[in-house]
A and B are shown apart, each in its own frame.
Chain A
Amino acid sequence: MTEQDIKGLIESKLQGARVFVTDLQGTGDHFEAVVIAPQFKGKSRLNQHRLVYDACGDHLTKEIHALKLQTHSPDEWKKDPKNNARLA
């Protein structure tokens, strides 16, 4: 899979999300994703991750061997000033 494939999977399930995907090894199976989504508001980190896992569906554990995940609601994301620099 490509970074774009995974970004697409996540964005299609979580409307309005900002998604950054990195292929960690260039092998198309180990990825890192940073996801900022309005749907995460008020959810525990555990349930935020579950939403992303659900979006990846069966691809996760099959084509995707590893997905390092960072999830934030838009408010959580804004609270950390270093993140704004990252998006700029």
Chain B
Amino acid sequence: MELAEQIKQDIETAPIILYMKGTKAMPMCGFSNAVVQVLNQYGVEYRDVDVLADPEIRVRLSEFSNWPTIPQLFVNGELIGGADIVVELHEKEELLPILEKAVVSTA
């Protein structure tokens, strides 16, 4: 499968997927780490994709999402945002309802 097609399929099928630098076990960038720390607080299952594994991932991902920076968090196929937005949603207590939708839709 072409990489662009793979990315599209991953985003559309994973309830929660985080494109990041490094892995959730070992984030390689402060912004990616910020999102991992937030998600960890909710204890939700999510898939992580390390964009450092292949520079092409980042190029194709940004073409697909129309979002230039990493990390990028998707829930139910929809881009929620990068680190600033995810942290803001978390602080305003608006993130949990978004994450719950993903959990419910796969239950």
Show the binding face of A for B, using Cβ within 8 Å: 45-46, 49-50, 53, 60-61, 66-70
Contact = CB atoms under 8 A, between A and B. Distances in A.
Size bracket of the B interface: 10 to 19
Nearest to A57: B68
Contacts of B79: 46
B105 interface: no
Main DSSP-derived SS at the B contact region: mixed
Contact of B67 (A50, A68, A70): A50
Contact of A61 (B31, B69, B80): B69
Nearest to A32: B84
21 contacts: A45-B81, A45-B88, A46-B79, A46-B80, A46-B81, A49-B82, A49-B84, A49-B85, A50-B66, A53-B69, A60-B69, A61-B68, A66-B30, A66-B31, A66-B69, A67-B69, A68-B31, A68-B83, A68-B84, A69-B84, A70-B84
A49, A60, A70 interface centre (most CB from chain B within 10 Å) = A49
B20 to A, nearest CB: 14
B44 to A, nearest CB: 20
